Structure 1
Amino acid sequence: MKLLDIAEVAQAAGVTPSTLRYYEEKGLIQPVARHGLRRQYGPQVLQQLSLVAMGKMAGFSLDEVAAMFGPTGRPDMPRNDLLRRAERMQAQARQLDALAQMLRHVAECPAPTHLDCDKFQQLLRLATATQKRRRRSGQSPSR
């Protein structure tokens, strides 16, 4: 098994060596040896770092990602948690799409002012209703 030096791992993963040391502190990765003072990693570390990157992209904290790795460093992802996260992401994507459409309408609206536009008035009422619904359901409002 060819060991990878910390600099090689950092370059291959697109992170800094200090990020790798931090990930080690968090329990996300572990060196398998040292060459002098330099950490050496097994080739599986690149896959682990890809999983960390994917978890971060999905909105998981580093602590949540660390909890997904079993004692062997292999992922042990609770599928129900992943499904719930995916559903929240899809809901957020729908909300962002609706917001983008609203902004596009506002930008292209031929009315003299946005407040004179019937569709814009409907969008304002919808935004208020959505905010009230979130507050009643206990969701934290976006700030």
Structure 2
Amino acid sequence: MLLDIGEVAERSGLAPSALRFYEKRGLITSQGRNGLRRTFSPDVLERLSLVTCARAAGFTIAQIARFLVATPSDAELRTQMAEKARQLEEDIVVLSRMRNGLHHAATCSYHPLVECPDFKRSFADSSPG
């Protein structure tokens, strides 16, 4: 059963304009039209989840498009993917440090909060390397 663009937009949380943009860029493919509305196969939702995750991770539309058609023999892309994974690991360390500090600060009574030894430790304990 095909989904129209409104259903895909609702289920994916993306605006119809974003779906049209992604289709124009080759990230997704419509199956045709029902009247004036584009229709999509239900598996487009999985593809959109991947695209949304990749966008949140900082990939460009061009990088995502290339990734979606990559083959195992694409050595250059594999190198780029490994570098991006390394960058994400660094981001995770920084974000984890911030999360830990915020969790502590939300219940801490030290004045001022930023001088709390436990708050400071949450940043020092998560240093990379």
TM bin (shorter chain): 0.5 to 0.7
CA distance in 1, matches of 2:51, 2:79: 19
The letter for the 2-side match of 1:107 is V
Q: Cα 1:76–1:39, aligned 2, differ >3 Å: closer, same or farther?
A: farther
- The equivalent residue for 1:27 is 26
Deviations 1:82-102 (A, max 9, x none): 22111112223435538x87x
CA distance in 2, matches of 1:36, 1:60: 34
CA distance in 2, matches of 1:48, 1:79: 20
- The equivalent residue for 2:79 is 80
Unaligned runs of 5+ in 2: 106-111, 118-129
Deviations 1:54-100 (A, max 9, x none): 11121101111111122xxxx658443222111112223435538x8
CA distance in 1, matches of 2:56, 2:31: 27
Larger radius of gyration: 1
Deviations 1:89-133 (A, max 9, x none): 2223435538x87xx8982169xxxxxxxxxxxxxxxxxxxxxxx
- The equivalent residue for 1:108 is 115
CA distance in 1, matches of 2:40, 2:61: 20
CA distance in 2, matches of 1:80, 1:68: 12
The letter for the 2-side match of 1:20 is L
CA distance in 1, matches of 2:89, 2:42: 34
Q: CA RMSD in A?
A: 2.9
- The equivalent residue for 1:14 is 13
Count, aligned residues: 104
Identity %: 38
Q: Which has the higher contact order (CA 8 A, sep 6+)?
A: 2
Q: Normalising to structure 2: TM-score of the pair?
A: 0.66
